[in-house]
Amino acid sequence: MSATVNVEQWVAMFQQIGLNEAQMQQWHEIFEANHPEAHGAFLNWLGMPQEQITQVRQHSASKNW
């Protein structure tokens, strides 16, 4: 058992509880709106490359919750 979780594993867990792509995007948008620094730290923890983190955060920030 690994002490870390990667993006693919996290997405698989979301899918296991029934979240679709739109719901996962909404989760990112709410996370970014309410806790932007923690959202970035979480994406980094998942091992996401910095360029992808920037893209996810910019896209997520374009929504207002």
- Structural Rg of the chain based on CA atoms: 12
Question: CA–CA separation, 38 vs 19, rounded Å?
Answer: 21
In tens, the pLDDT along 15-61 reads 999 999 999 999 999 999 999 999 999 999 999 999 999 999 999 99
For residue 64, the model assigns a pLDDT of 60
DSSP 47: T
Domain ranges of the chain: 20-61
| Model confidence, pTM | 0.87
Q: What share of the chain is helix, strand, coil (3-state, %, to 5)?
A: 70, 0, 30
> Which residues fall within 8 angstroms of residue 33, CB to CB, at 6 or more apart?
60, 61, 63, 64, 65
Token duo for residue 54: 């920037």
